[in-house]
Structure 1
Amino acid sequence: MAASGKIVQLGSYAASKQKNSISGLSSGAFMTVQLHLARSASFAGAGIIAGGPFRCAETYQAGGMVTPQDSRIENSLYICMNPLIPATSPDAQRLAGMARDTAQAGLIDDVANLADDRLYIFTGSEDDVVYSDVVRRTREFYEMLGVKRENIAYHDNIPAGHSIITDNPEDSELSTNQPPYINNGGFMQSHDILRHIYGPLKPPAEQLTGQLQCFDQTEFLGDDAPWASMSKFGYAYIPSRVLAGEVAEPRVHIALHGCKQGYNYTDYVNGRADIANQPPYGNRYFTTTGYNHIAESNDIIVLYPQAEGTDNGEIQNPDGCWDWWGYSTRYAESPYYSREAVQIKAIHKMLDRLCA
C-alpha cells in the first residue's frame, strides 16, 4: 500500500451519490445508525457491530431534578449498553416513532428511504460492553421503519466479545472485551459487511496498490470545531483504479471506529492526558481490519473519519467516542442526531467532497 507521505486535502472522485454505505463498531455503530437515518438518501446500506437504535439515549425521559444531559448519560449506560434485564432494553417501537417524528420535523431525511437498504447487524454472544438485547432492538427498530427482513443479515451466535472481527493471528482472542477491540475470529467481518450490502464482490486484493491518505479534517468542522471532539486528521483509502481515473462513479464506504480506537487516542487519568502510556494501536482500525483489501479489488473508496478524546471541562468525551448521547448538544445549535449535528454534518461534507 502506498502512503501519500504528506497531509493532503481530501480529493474529489465523482463518487456515487446514492450507492454509498457506512459501518461502525460500538460508538461507531451507534453513530452509523444516526448518520444512516440523518442522511438516508445518501446510503444503500449499513453495517452495525454492537450498536443500538436511533436516539437510544432518549429512550426514557427523566423528570424532576435530572438535567437532559444527565438523563441521556444514564440512558446510554443502563439502557443502551448494559440493561439490567431485557425488559429495560431500548424501546424499539418508541424510538421508531421518534425517528418518524424527527423526519417529519425536517431534522433528518425521509425514513421511507430506508425501505430497500441492506443491513448487517452483529452482536457477539460474549459481548459484555453492549449487550445483545440492545442490538436485537436495533433490528426491530429498522423493521418497524419498513426495512425488509430479507435485507437484514442478523448475527448473534458467534462467541465474540466487544470487537470487530478479523482473521489476523496477532489480534486478541475472539471472546476478549478490551482494547483494541479487534479480535481474531478466523474471518474478516468487514468483507462480510460489504458483501451483504453490495452483493457479490471480487476477492480481496493480495496487495494494496492504492493510496492511504491522511487529510485535514478541520476544514469540514468550521466554527463547530471546539464542540466536535474530532481529530485534526482523518484517513481515506483510494483504490488504484480510482486514483487513475478509470472508474465511473466509485462507491464510498464510511468506516467508523469505536471508542479508544482513533489514531491519536490517549488515555485520560484524573482529567489529564496520559501521554507516556499512550497505547500503540491507534492506526489499527484503518490498516488491519480488512476494509482496504476488498475495497482495492472492487473500486470502493473507504473513508475513515476520526474522533478523539476530549476532557476539558466543557466536552467530556475522554474515550474518544462518537457522539451518540449528546455531549456536543450543550454547545452546538443542532441536536446531536440531526442532519446539522456537528459530527454528522462534518462527515457528510467529507462524503460530498468525494462525490464532487
Structure 2
Amino acid sequence: MKLLSSTITMLLALGISPSLQASAPLPGVGASPEGTSVSGLSSGAFMAVQYQVAYSASVSGAGIVAGGPYYCASNFLLTYAGICMGTVPFFPPNPNLMVAAAQLFALNGDIDPLISLQKSRVYVFSGTKDTVVYQSAVNATVDFFKGVGVPNINLVYVNKVPSGHALLTPSFGNTCSANKAPFVSKCTVGKAAYDQPGAILSHIYGPLNPPAKIRTGQLLTFNQREFADTSTSMADDAYAYVPASCTQGVSCKVHVAFHGCLQSEKVVGDDFYGKSSYNDWADSNNIIMLYPQVNDSQPLNPQGCWDWYGYTGPNYAYKSAPQMKAVQAMIERLTLSSSGPMAMH
C-alpha cells in the first residue's frame, strides 16, 4: 500500500493523472489500401459524403443515412443549416451549387479529381418519419452524386421505409419511427428485419457471406489523440473491430462508420460501434471496421457532430481538413504490416 501511495504521489508531482492512462496505439494489421469505404448517420452521413468526395481516388463507396449533399453549409452555419437539413419549407438545398463547388475544389487540387466518382458505389437512405433531416435534403444528396458522375447503376436510394432518424439494425434499438437517442432503431421491411449495415456493405462490395452469429474478432480501443488534437473536437479514444481473419494473413478491406450527433461513445456508450450489425458483417467478410469519435465542444459543436459546416475551419470539406486528415491517417495506419499483439477492448 505504501508503494502504491508513493507511486501515485510521484505521478501527481510529475503532472500525470494515474487514472488517465492513454489507450494503446491503433495497430497496423496489413489491411488492403484498395476497397476502403465509408458510411454514416446524420452528421456522420454528411461526413461520409465529404470523405467520399474528397478522397474519391481511394474510396470505393459510401453509405449515406439521413445526410445532405457535399459542402451544403458552405461555411455559413446559421444561414444554411436549416436548408441543408431540409427544415426550411419550399427551399431545399440546391445540388447544382454543391456540384459547382466540388468541381472548383477538384480543379484547385483541394480534393481528388471527380472522375474517380464514376467508379463509386453509393447507398443513400431517408426514412419517411425522419424529423431531423428531411427527405428534401437527402433528395439533393442523390442529385449531387448524379451531378458529379456517379452512374445510376451504382446509386441506390431507399426512401420508402417509415423510419425516424436512425441507423437501422435487425436486433437492437428503438421502434422504427423513433427520432431519439441512441438513434439506432429496428424496422421491418417485407416481413423481415431491415439490416442497414448489411445493405450498405452489400451495395458497396457486392454479394457477401451471411453475418457472423458469433463474433470471432477483437474490438479495440485506441488512442485517437495521436491523429487529431483537441481543437478538432475528436475524442481521446476511438474504436476498431478487427476480424480474426485479418490477423491471420488475410488482407482485409477497411470500412469507416461515422456516428451521428449525440451518438459518440461519451453519450450512448457502444450502441453505435458495438450493438449494430456492422461488426457481424465485417467478421465474416474480411472487413475491418473503424469508428472514429467526435465529442461536444463549445460554442460551435455542442452536440458532438462531425464538422459539415466549418467549426474546425474553412477547409473542413477539403482533404486538408483536420478531421478528414485524421481519419485518412487512421486508415493508412491499418494498412501497415502487423505491429504485434492487439489489446482487446
Q: TM-score range by the shorter chain?
A: 0.7 to 0.9
User: Does residue 189 of structure 1 match 2:189?
Assistant: no
Q: What's the secondary structure of 1:302's corresponding residue?
A: strand
Match of 1:268 in 2: none
Report how far residue 346 of structure 1 moved.
0.4
User: Which amino acid letter does the alignment assign opposite residue 226 of structure 2?
Assistant: E
Measured in 2, the distance between the counterparts of 1:259 and 1:83 equals: 17
Among residues 307, 318, 342, which one is paired with 2:302 in the alignment?
A: 318
Measured in 1, the distance between the counterparts of 2:225 and 2:209 equals: 35
- TM-superposition CA deviations, 1:62-96 (whole Å, max 9, x none): xxxxxxx6x323201x201133234x111111110
Report how far residue 316 of structure 1 moved.
2.2
Q: Which consecutive segments of 4 or more residues in structure 1 shift more than 3 A?
A: none
- TM-superposition CA deviations, 1:217-245 (whole Å, max 9, x none): 01112xxx13200100000000001122x
1:1-356 equivalences under 5 Å are: 7-58=23-74, 71-76=76-81, 78-86=82-90, 88-168=91-171, 170-185=172-187, 186-221=193-228, 225-244=229-248, 246-248=249-251, 250-265=252-267, 281-311=268-298, 315-329=299-313, 335-356=315-336
Percent identity between the two aligned chains = 40
Measured in 2, the distance between the counterparts of 1:320 and 1:84 equals: 23
Measured in 1, the distance between the counterparts of 2:293 and 2:87 equals: 28
User: Which amino acid letter does the alignment assign opposite residue 323 of structure 2?
Assistant: Q
- TM-superposition CA deviations, 1:13-55 (whole Å, max 9, x none): 2222231100000000000011111111111100000001110
Measured in 1, the distance between the counterparts of 2:113 and 2:200 equals: 24
Report how far residue 116 of structure 1 moved.
1.1
- Runs of 5+ consecutive residues of structure 1 not aligned to the other structure: 1-5, 59-68, 266-280
Report how far residue 7 of structure 1 moved.
2.9
The 10-residue stretch of structure 1 (92-101 or 9-18) with the greater mean CA deviation from structure 2: 9-18
- Runs of 5+ consecutive residues of structure 2 not aligned to the other structure: 1-21, 188-192, 337-345
Report how far residue 308 of structure 1 moved.
0.4
Match of 2:8 in 1: none
Report how far residue 306 of structure 1 moved.
0.4
Report how far residue 167 of structure 1 moved.
1.5
User: Which amino acid letter does the alignment assign opposite residue 40 of structure 2?
Assistant: G
Measured in 2, the distance between the counterparts of 1:337 and 1:44 equals: 18
Q: What's the secondary structure of 2:57's corresponding residue?
A: helix
- TM-superposition CA deviations, 1:286-329 (whole Å, max 9, x none): 01110001100001000000000112xxx521111000000111
User: Which amino acid letter does the alignment assign opposite residue 238 of structure 1?
Assistant: V
Measured in 1, the distance between the counterparts of 2:194 and 2:230 equals: 39
Q: What's the secondary structure of 1:43's corresponding residue?
A: coil
**CA radius of gyration, larger in:** 2
The alignment of Structure 1 onto Structure 2 pairs a total of residues equal to: 310
| Contact 1:7 1:213 survives alignment (8 Å) | no
Measured in 1, the distance between the counterparts of 2:157 and 2:296 equals: 31
| Contact 1:188 1:289 survives alignment (8 Å) | no
Structure 2-normalised TM-score? 0.87
What is the root-mean-square deviation in Å for CA atoms of aligned residues? Answer: 1.3
Measured in 2, the distance between the counterparts of 1:310 and 1:42 equals: 30
